[in-house]
Structure 1
Amino acid sequence: MSGADLADRVTAMLSADPEAFEARVDDEVDALKAAVKEGTFDNPQGILGLEYEFYGVDTETDALKRVPRPLLEYIGFEKELGLHNAEMQTTPQPFSTYGLRSQAAEVQARLDAALRETRAHGIHLVSDGIWTVPPVGETATSYLADSVEDDGVRIATNMSDAVRYHAMANVEERIEMSLDVPHVALDAKTVMPESLITSIQPHYQVSHAADLPEYLRYAVRIAGPLLALGVNSPFFPPDLYDESPEVVLEECWMENRIPVFESIFNAEGREKVCLPPDVDSVEDAIDDIAADTTVIPMHVEDSGRYDDRFAHFRHKHGSYWRWVRPVFDGATRSAANARIEFRPLPGQPTVHDTISLLAVYAGLLESLPKREHPVAALPWETAEENFYAAARDGIDAELTWYTGAGDETSDPAVVYDDLLAHARDGLSLRGLSDAEVDRYVGPLADRVDEKMTPARWKHDHVSAAVDAGVPFAEAIWGMQAAYIRKQRDTLIEGSFGDWL
């Protein structure tokens, strides 16, 4: 799509009547609630899915590299925000022995085929939390901030041609579109800085939509502990820092994806990126989405899907950027579902680590409600404190937890023992054998035993290099080269434990 065509489409998108859009949303909310009440969004069993993001690097230099759009389509991946991004979405599967096997096998099969093809074009796909080496001949600042104006429309040079991304830079009530995180600052006129980060997003589909509030409550409580085990983004591209290496190493967050996303999309006191509130009913969850600030009102065309009857509500949901997000959709009436999308987790070193987090997340949502686990009573504010403590300090964070016996604790050994024990229980409830449970929970249990996460591995690597006299930028790039080298040997069949 040419720049002029893209600008025209942005202008057309922004011409929608906001009041008419909100009126359509209100009508669709009533229809959605009626469908939920009728049982349309109920399913006979829990179902799992996964969104898995990658970024491209040059196979020779490890520098960030744009992935040609035809190549992306050829390998069956979807475009994400930046031209360097690629996203895989797995086929939803029943939560069972075979469903989890299928999730792992699909990721391995599709990723293996994709890597073979991209390497032939000098591109390697990386599973990570934040990229740190900009494209050859460019800085991170220039790559992220480069944009042009076409007939008054601001277009980001290195952003995918998805119109809604570009429209965000041109709405009257602009979102912040600047990076303001610990020791990093970057002014931008588009949302392109968000393309620094890549994630995995496990989905858990509830059997009965009416039960969604209970599952959502537990998902918010486990957000902190699971994030603490999954952290993988302590460093930015070096040219973005405005502080000394000593201060950065001492004070950097273990999961910088969290402040990146929040600093870009939370503007003027609006908290669009945050943990969701507890709700008493599924209708309340729907109302919270409908009440959220609309970023880009627009008329949505009918595409022949069942959930087109809620198309404007679904469009609004697309900017309901909660870290734990209820979702209502379905291409057909029989496929209509209510699920909980878990969004805090960064990309992981290997597929096995990714599937481990998917399985543990699902296992917890299976066990905790069935066992009526006391952590449901943990105050929402405490769960929020846990979440940001995990983002700052990773596995070293001090978390507050209620155990299955009802005891309050901040002892990490007790917190993670209880957490993983209930993940094991949930997997067993879905029919997995002890050996299978060990396989899925083992990678996270090893992180607890070794007190080692991917973020800590990166931090230790950079710290050791700086202590040895290596300049800070070279230390970060050296760490990134080591990360990519180890991942190339372990991504498909190995695990992070193989790195230690």
Structure 2
Amino acid sequence: MGQNIDKTQFSDQDYADFRDALNYNLRTFRALLAEPGFGEGPQSYGSELELYLVDKNAHPKPINEIILNDAKDTQLTLELNQFNLEYNFLPLVNEAAPFSKMEQQMRSALGFLDEVTARHDSRILPIGILPTLRAQDMGRDAITDLTRYHVLADALRAKRGEDFQIHIEGQDQLEMSWSDVSPEGANTSFQFHYRVSPSEFAGSYNAAQLTTPLVLALAANSPFFLGQRLWQETRIALFKQSIDYRLEDTLEKHLPARVLYGLGWVRKSIYELLAESVYLFEPILPILSDRDSQAELKAGMAPSLDELRLHQGSVWSWNRPIYDPNDGGHLRIETRAFPAGPTPANMAATAALISGFMKGLLPIIDELISGLPFRYTEQNFYRAAKYGLNAKLFWPNLKSGILEERPVIDLLRQLLPTAKRGLEELGVDASEIHKQLSLINDSLNAEMNGARWQRMMFALLINQTDELSALNELVERYYQQYQSNKPIHEWSLKL
């Protein structure tokens, strides 16, 4: 979805031709998976970080194009709304301390952006949803002036044919209609990329689906939207609803939302997920490539599969399967559920934890998912997003053969040794494992994440002032403590 798009109008024939190309790409991909040695290579990790631009009053500042032009950094890109940017970090290959290196990458980039934004009376902030965001900050005029964003926004709106409906219940209740997709841009995330061999893809992806709810509960950092106290990770509900074009009285309502957790466990390979997206979701941007994927494969090249990769970018699964033609062609799992912030230290530890789970659970993943029908894992995901560290999740007890409901904190503590073993098998240094999992353990002992800190600080501030002032002060205090790079459990809650 990051590619430049010039065309803005599409005919029925464009869509038909694009669908033919998707099926052609699928056949190529099936043949590619059967190629000996495909996708084998060194372990690598990557990340993307979406960010808010805020002014001196802690409100969004819509100057992302100005900052991009001033920064002159090819790793920096524009996001949907004019008050957001995204930084794309270089992949880390065969690093002994990859997560510390990732933390350093983030700190360096954020420090550089601090300097750039300061020249424009603004600041950069990693946070899932900015608590001071107002309705007047959004709308069609807030969307970044790039063709691909306007085409995407228009396509989603046209498919729905009426306003998007957003309903989220938490401590407060939000009920709103919105005419465009700009509320989707209120959500900023930390997206982590984990390279995986084709032979381990199914098990690793299932492990990611199984444990993402646990990690999300610990990483939650988005408890406010439009001043309302909603879910611990409100992004999950807001993203899904803000671009859901299905209507209650149409057949489409029986199809899955384009923002989805998944439809079942993977049985054999990544092919199932890519084929599923082609069969279930209509193309939004039917941009045809001039490259022939099967000719590329016959020539010994990693096929580009341009149409298939573009289509995958318009299906927003929370754990996204990725085929990348670079480095001879390889597979990745992109975890998309985790929010931006609170600090690089926290985000690096999140990446370490989910990596440890994806690798460490491989020997028993089939047994675990046999005792947990997929719909219970999907429920776990939404429970974790709503309740954070207070969530109770379904989990199979392999000893008793009983499906239990367990506090998420207890499950995380129980599975830390599994994460440790997985990181060891990935070749991560012992000192790095100790550093990252100690941070996780300390956060569990303190029972603290970004969402809980925000809600607790707001509760203290609201006793001294009005709601708008309390939200402004909350963002200021968040900003000051984020600057320290201390993990969230070390942040002060004193006025």
The alignment's TM-score, normalised by the length of structure 1, stands at 0.85
- 5 Å matches for 1:125-140? 125-134=124-133, 140=134
Stretch of structure 1 that moved more, 363-372 or 98-107? 98-107
CA displacement at 1:454 relative to structure 2: 0.9
Partner of residue 100, structure 1:
99
Matched, 1:485 2:480: yes
Query: Which residue does the alignment assign to 1:341?
Result: 334
Residues of 1 paired with 2:65 and 2:117: CA distance?
A: 12
Partner of 1:294: 282
Question: For residues 68 and 257 of structure 1, do their structure 2 counterparts lie closer, same or farther at Cα, with a shift above 3 Å needed?
Answer: closer
Partner of 1:56: 53
CA distance in 1, matches of 2:90, 2:241: 32
Q: What pairs with 1:350-499 in structure 2 (closer than 5 Å)?
A: 350-370=343-363, 372=365, 374-377=367-370, 378-402=372-396, 409=404, 410-466=406-462, 468=463, 470-490=465-485, 494-499=486-491
Shift of residue 160 of structure 1? 1.6
Secondary structure of residue in 2 paired with 1:17: helix
Change in Cα spacing, 1:405 to 1:440, as seen in structure 2 (3 Å) is: farther
Tell me: CA distance 1:55–1:44, structure 2 relative to 1, closer, same or farther (3 Å).
same
Corresponding letter in the other structure for 1:197: N
Residue 218 of structure 1 contacts residue 375 of structure 1 at CA under 8 Å; is this kept in 2? no
Unpaired runs of at least 5, structure 1: 1-5, 135-139, 146-155, 242-247
Match of 1:227 among 201, 216, 220: 216
Q: After TM superposition, give the deviation of residue 221 of structure 1 in Å.
A: 0.5
Which whole-Å deviations, capped at 9, do the CAs of 1:164-204 have from their partners, x for residues lacking one?
32123433423764433232234332211111110001111
- Once the two structures are TM-superposed, the CA of residue 340 in structure 1 deviates from its matched residue by 0.9
Count of aligned positions: 460
Letter of the structure 1 residue corresponding to residue 166 of structure 2? L
Q: Deviations over 1:56-83 (max 9, x none)?
A: 111x222211234253151441111111
Q: Deviations over 1:394-414 (max 9, x none)?
A: 001011223676775514453
In structure 2, the residue matched to 1:22 is 19
Distance in 2 separating the partners of 1:236 and 1:463 = 16
Counterpart in the other structure of 1:280 = 267
| Structure 2 SS opposite 1:168 | helix
Task: Note the aligned Cα RMSD (angstroms).
Answer: 2.6
Residue 65 of structure 1: SS of its match in structure 2?
coil
Distance 2:423 2:125 in 1: 29
Q: Supply the AA of the counterpart residue of 1:110.
A: A
Q: Which SS does the other structure have where 1:130 is aligned?
A: coil
**Cα distance change, pair 297–117 in 1 and its aligned pair in 2 (3 A):** closer
Q: Structure 1: how far apart are the matches of 2:362 and 2:481?
A: 39
Quick one: structure 1 residues 308 and 186, their matched pair in 2 at CA, closer, same or farther if it must change by over 3 Å? farther
- With over 3 angstroms needed to count, the CA separation of the structure-2 counterparts of 1:121 and 1:404, relative to structure 1, is farther
Letter matched to residue 280 of structure 1: R
State the shift of 1:115 in Å.
Answer: 1.7
Q: Residues of 2 paired with 1:91 and 1:358: CA distance?
A: 15
Out of 135, 146, 153, the position equivalent to 1:162 is 146
Contact 2:389 2:409 in 1 (8 A): no
- What is the SS of the residue equivalent to 2:57? coil
Q: Give yes or no for contact 2:195–2:330 (8 Å, CA) kept in 1.
A: yes
Question: 2:208 is aligned with what amino acid?
Answer: A
Deviation at 1:356, TM superposition (A): 0.6
Distance 1:406-1:32 versus aligned 2 partners, 3 A rule: farther
Q: CA deviation at 1:132?
A: 2.4
**Any conservation in 2 of the 1:129–1:347 contact (CA below 8 Å)?**
yes
User: Kindly tell me: are residues 489 and 103 of structure 1, through their superposed partners in 2, closer, same or farther at Cα, counting changes over 3 Å?
Assistant: closer
Q: For structure 2, list consecutive stretches of 5 or more residues without a partner in the other structure.
A: 248-252
Amino acid at match of 1:367: G
In the TM superposition, residue 13 of structure 1 has moved relative to its aligned partner by: 5.0
Cα distance in 1 between the residues matched to 2:302 and 2:257: 27
Task: For residue 166 of structure 2, give the secondary structure of its aligned residue in structure 1.
Answer: strand
Is residue 302–residue 328 contact of structure 2 (8 Å, CA) maintained in 1? no
How far apart, CA to CA, are the structure 2 residues paired with 1:256 and 1:37?
Answer: 41
Tell me, in whole angstroms, the C-alpha distance in 1 between the residues paired with 2:308 and 2:143. 26
One-letter identity of the residue aligned with 2:391: A
Q: Counterpart of 2:250?
A: none
